[in-house]
Structure 1
């Protein structure tokens, strides 16, 4: 039976957004790669009563709860204390870990501060989990149905402990599972709801599930293969790309250098932009040095005017993003054969989101041209009000 796994992230800085919780995302992905899928995630501040209440509640509903953070030497690090209170047991000094910490300080020719003793105070009967990197040991405690594993919040320490200490324990407790395989596809121009309508109604091979994540300027689609055959995963990928493959911007990770670099290295590029606020130039600079960028004011705001201006100003290949006009923002691609222009309506109010979308729309036109695909297509998130092709 599939274990119910939950994650708890602690700390006021995480709860208020002062620190971005990258640990929870990494943990979810790493566990999935091992064949275990996280069911729920929680974030709690440095409040003892909130932690005690959450630990007691989840102990009846989960098989495994991984708690991240709150194991430091300061007064706001209260994860061990809260766990002891939830379980109705005292804290006790772990002499072994105290000696380990003292040795770590001695090896650095430093005296261990008194406050570090707190990191060796563990709930009575807890199983110590070694931390070869830092001074905060992890530990495991069983309460009711659940096993609680406590880990430090420092990412490098968490990752080392997961690989060396925790994943082997999970295999013992819950049985070795076949690792899940996840293939990631970054699509541009489609809305999350529209994509869901196109994909969710289809029959997918056994053992394959789909996941979505919208993050401007793209939508990430994941094919998650849990105990599925390689043939089933290959079939699912063919099925996905047959439906939305022309919108595929990148695989595995959104790395423009990796996905567009080989195409842009084929020939030097000239770039002109206004409404995108320099975003196109900035993005291309991370891909190739073989281009000439111009961030200008006063570019045309109508499709034909921008196309004719670009033909006079460059020999090609060239991209231009004009000014915003009543019909939207014209985006043009000049090649040796012709100049293609489409006027796109950007409905997002956030200036950075608008610039990102326009920059990637221009890059997508170039990608399509170099990949021998239709250059001007319907984008769900960027309605087109006008298209035209000007002969060279």
Structure 2
């Protein structure tokens, strides 16, 4: 049976929105990638009675609860005290962690403030969870049905503790791997609603569900798999790939440096851009250093004019993004075989979004060429008003 995993975020600043709770999202995604899907998430302010009530309640319904925040040295950091009250045990000094904190301060030639000693007061019977980064140790407590893991709110500390300390404990307690596996597919050019229309109406094998995450300029599509049947998994993946076609730009991780970088070695690549405002050059610089980039104002704003300009002046492999014109923005790829240009219409008012989409469209043309795919295709999110092809 799938374990019931829940998350609790604490703190008035999180509850009121003064701080965006990025930790909960990161935790949910991390656990999903490990095969465990979070069932519920809760947010509670710095009120001990509310925390005690929630801990006691969730201890009867969850198998594992990760509590984030409230482990600092100040008076409003009350997670440990609330857990002790919920479990009906006192707080007691963990001498080992007190020594660790004192050593950390001594290594910086500083005296430890008296308030930090509070961070070594843990519920009686709890298991210490090491924090090599900061002064707030974590701890684990078993209460009724649930195991509670308490973690600090500082993201860098949380991430280190989850990776090094808590995930290994979870594998021992819940099984080496979760009951789920996740396969991730990154798509460009399709809209989330268009994808939903295509995919949600299909019949998916038992044990397979879909997940969507729009993150401009791509959409991340997940197959969440709760079966070990290899044939079922293969059927689901084949059905997905048949629907998204060549709009798939990456699997597992969105990393153009890994996929395009090796293919651009020893290529004499040149880049010209206008409407993308230097975004294309910046992006390609993270993929390869083997190129020459130019950010120019006044490039042609029509497909044919840009194609002729590139044929006359550019190297055999050139990416170009022209100026904004009445029909849109021409985006071009010139190779030894000729020049292909498509004029894309922009419907995003945000200038940064426009530049990111244009740069990605140009990179997608290059990706398609290097993969021997059709270079110019229809994009739901970037309608094409004109296409031009000139042979070399």
User: Same fold by TM (over 0.5)?
Assistant: yes
**Distance (whole Å) between structure 1 residues aligned to residue 219 and residue 105 of structure 2:** 51
**Distance (whole Å) between structure 2 residues aligned to residue 362 and residue 81 of structure 1:** 56
Q: Given the superposition, is the C-alpha separation of residues 156 and 110 from structure 1 closer, same or farther in structure 2, using an over 3 Å criterion?
A: same
Residue 131 of structure 1 is matched in structure 2 by 130
Q: Does the aligned pair in 2 maintain the 1:330–1:341 contact within 8 Å?
A: yes
Residue 256 of structure 2 is matched in structure 1 by 256
Q: Does the aligned pair in 2 maintain the 1:318–1:334 contact within 8 Å?
A: yes
| Correspondence list, 1:184-333, <5 A | 184-265=184-265, 267-333=267-333
Partner-residue secondary structure (3-state), 1:210 = strand
Q: Does the aligned pair in 1 maintain the 2:127–2:141 contact within 8 Å?
A: no
Q: Given the superposition, is the C-alpha separation of residues 365 and 173 from structure 1 closer, same or farther in structure 2, using an over 3 Å criterion?
A: closer
For normalisation by structure 1, the TM-score amounts to: 0.86
| Correspondence list, 1:59-78, <5 A | 59=59, 61-78=61-78
Q: Given the superposition, is the C-alpha separation of residues 343 and 290 from structure 1 closer, same or farther in structure 2, using an over 3 Å criterion?
A: same
RMSD (Å) for aligned C-alpha atoms? 3.1
Of 234-243 and 134-143, more deviation after overlay is shown by 134-143
| Correspondence list, 1:5-20, <5 A | 5-11=5-11
Aligned-residue offset at 1:155: 4.6
Partner-residue secondary structure (3-state), 2:261 = helix
Partner-residue secondary structure (3-state), 2:250 = strand
Q: Given the superposition, is the C-alpha separation of residues 16 and 296 from structure 1 closer, same or farther in structure 2, using an over 3 Å criterion?
A: farther
Residue 93 of structure 1 is matched in structure 2 by 92
Aligned-residue offset at 1:328: 1.2
Q: Does the aligned pair in 2 maintain the 1:70–1:152 contact within 8 Å?
A: yes
Q: Does 2:126 match 1:153?
A: no
Q: Does the aligned pair in 2 maintain the 1:208–1:228 contact within 8 Å?
A: no
Q: Does the aligned pair in 2 maintain the 1:126–1:140 contact within 8 Å?
A: no
Q: Does the aligned pair in 1 maintain the 2:35–2:182 contact within 8 Å?
A: no
Q: Does 2:392 match 1:380?
A: no
Q: Please, which runs of 5 or more residues in structure 1 have no aligned partner?
A: none
Aligned-residue offset at 1:237: 2.7
Of 322-331 and 228-237, more deviation after overlay is shown by 228-237
**Distance (whole Å) between structure 2 residues aligned to residue 176 and residue 315 of structure 1:** 54
Q: Please, which runs of 5 or more residues in structure 2 have no aligned partner?
A: none
Question: What is the total number of aligned residue pairs between the two structures?
Answer: 390
**Distance (whole Å) between structure 2 residues aligned to residue 263 and residue 15 of structure 1:** 48
Of 269-278 and 155-164, more deviation after overlay is shown by 155-164
Partner-residue secondary structure (3-state), 1:32 = helix
**Distance (whole Å) between structure 2 residues aligned to residue 347 and residue 304 of structure 1:** 22
Partner-residue secondary structure (3-state), 1:259 = helix
For normalisation by structure 2, the TM-score amounts to: 0.86
Aligned-residue offset at 1:295: 0.6
| Correspondence list, 1:335-354, <5 A | 335-354=335-354
**Distance (whole Å) between structure 1 residues aligned to residue 49 and residue 279 of structure 2:** 47
Partner-residue secondary structure (3-state), 1:293 = strand
Q: Given the superposition, is the C-alpha separation of residues 296 and 44 from structure 1 closer, same or farther in structure 2, using an over 3 Å criterion?
A: farther
Aligned-residue offset at 1:91: 4.6
**Distance (whole Å) between structure 1 residues aligned to residue 377 and residue 163 of structure 2:** 45
Residue 113 of structure 1 is matched in structure 2 by 113
